[in-house]
Structure 1
Amino acid sequence: MKTLAEQVIEKASEKSVMIATVESCTGGLIIGALTNVAGSSAVVDRGFITYSNESKQDMVNVSIKSLEKFGAVSEAVAGEMAFGGLTHSKADLSISVTGIAGPGGGTDEKPVGMVCFGRAELGQPPHTETMIFEDNGRESIRKATIEHALKLLLEALS
């Protein structure tokens, strides 16, 4: 049985689609999962690790207005991150994640385990969604985030 990352690389290869990631709470683990697959260099352009708000602005042009109005963990920012991943790379498809992996840092409005996803494809408006993963620790939340991001990439490639 192929892993999700292997399936993403296979589908991207079949369709000649280049991929970029823009990661906050996963700190590069999504691009790591993808580049762990043999042959990924043909379809993976780059990964942006935009952990700080400043890096989100500098690397992928997230607007300070969105960060101030909605916060870093928001669908608005995730959408801008994904779009920025496209415009600052040679990718045809980009995935972004921004969330609260814990421990701590959550609020009633934005609990630990809340992750916002963005997906951008050339010629289409960004898709965004929010998941709230069970707080079974930081590693568990990050693992669930990676899996969901890979599923969103696979969905776009299918």
Structure 2
Amino acid sequence: MAAASSTKGEMEKMGIEQLKAVKEQADLEVNLLQDSLNNIRTATSRLDSASAALHDLSLRPQGKKMLVPLTASLYVPGTLDDADKVLVDIGTGYFVEKTMEEGKDYCERKINLLKSNFDQLLEVATKKKSVADDAGMILQAKLKQLSTPTS
């Protein structure tokens, strides 16, 4: 908190244009961090779905007829050949064959990593939001002080 109060003290010494620039920069950073947080939420949701699909697939017997997704809206009929081996998308179009347990473990590790990154980004975003709010309040006070006529 001492760092935040010293930053606030520094902002009180700034001119109006500098305060506007600080507020705009902090607001921009907050928006970028919010976008990153939303992307992490989306990725976590997809990994949760993949983990649930792996669990469901592991319960199906070999030779089971099923629909195989080619795209989000296109499915083709197929037969489950070997439920113990799965292809895991490790990014940028690369897939690795893993056992079912290794695939589940991969999903869990990625989910834990994303949750850790989410918590760290949330902390940074909260601090940036606080800086933007402080800059806005100080800016408003200075503008009000300028507009108030002194007798």
Q: TM-score range by the shorter chain?
A: under 0.3
TM-score by length of structure 1 reads 0.25
- Please identify which structure carries the higher strand content: 1
- Between Structure 1 and Structure 2, the one with more helix by share is 2
TM-score by length of 2: 0.26
Q: Say which structure, 1 or 2, has more relative contact order (CA 8 Å, 6+ apart).
A: 2
